[in-house]
Every structure is written in structure tokens, then in C-alpha cells.
Amino acid sequence: MAAIVDYFVALLPQAEGWLPKWQLLVAVTAFFNTVQNFATLKFTRRLYSAAPQTVTALQARTFAIWTLTSAAIRLYAAYNIHTKQVYDLALFSYLFAFAHFGSEILIFRSANINGPVVSPVVVSTVSLVWMFLQYDYYVQN
């Protein structure tokens, strides 16, 4: 049993601190969200609950690819957290997510402040602040 645990621990990002592990968790979650967006419109319509009729299969697939791209960037950042360019890309991916969901809530009004939309807003906000505050610790110029 200990060998199995050791195997899985070795797969985790080896950089110090919790931020690399957080990047991995967010990336893995996004991969599952990508699959969900390809499989059904149900959850995406819950996300854009103020205008669920605007969520089409095409929009959901586009959202899936956007989510997959973000997941890949964040996965890469989990294992390359000290590389400035990778760190910056991950930081921007959270900024874009925050801007998207914020604009859907405040400007376009396609999303309500409810459970489904709170999650990406919280994740993007926490990640942005965390990455900004830890920039000098992780980035090796």
C-alpha cells in the first residue's frame, strides 16, 4: 500500500508550496469540465442561468475547448512553476476567466450570481491574488 501512495505522491508537482498543487487540482477539474461540456448542455445552461437558451451545442463545444486550453496551461504551470513565461500564461488564464465570468454577470447579464457561477469566480479570484502575491517567490528570472 505504501508503494502505491509513494507512486502517486511522486506524480505531484515537486516544487515547494501549495500553489503548484493548486494548479494541478484546477487543471484536473477543468479536464472533467471539458468532457462535461462535450457531453451535455445541462450544466453549462446552469452556469449561464440568466439566458440558458443562448447556450447551444456549438457554444458549449467552444467553451469546452477554451476550458481545455486553460487546463493545459495550468497543468504545465503546475510542473513548471518557476518558468516566467509559463507562470505568466497561467496568471493570464485566470485573469481571462475572471473577466469572462464577471462580464457575463455584470455586463451581458447571461449569468446570475448562483452556485454554478460562483465557483469559477472564486477560483479565478483566489488564483489571481495568490499568483500575484507569490510571483517573486516562484518566478526565477
Q: Report pLDDT digits (tens) over 11-52.
A: 999 999 999 999 999 999 999 999 999 999 999 999 999 999
The confidence band for 61, taking pLDDT boundaries of 50, 70 and 90, is very high
Angle, nearest 10°, between helix axes 57-79 and 19-39?
Answer: 160
- What is the model's pTM? 0.94
The predicted structure's pLDDT at residue 1? 81
* Contact by Cβ (8 Å): 52, 109: no
- Quote the DSSP letter at residue 81: T
Measuring CA to CA, which residue among 80, 68, 67 is closest to residue 120?
A: 67
Give the rounded percent of residues in the chain with a pLDDT score beyond 90.
Answer: 96
The DSSP annotation for 42-76 comes to HHHHHHTTTSGGG--HHHHHHHHHHHHHHHHHHHH
Res 141 pLDDT > 80? no
d(CA 112, CA 86): 32
CA dist 68 to 29, 37, 82, Å? 10, 10, 22
- Cβ contact 71:30 at 8 Å: yes
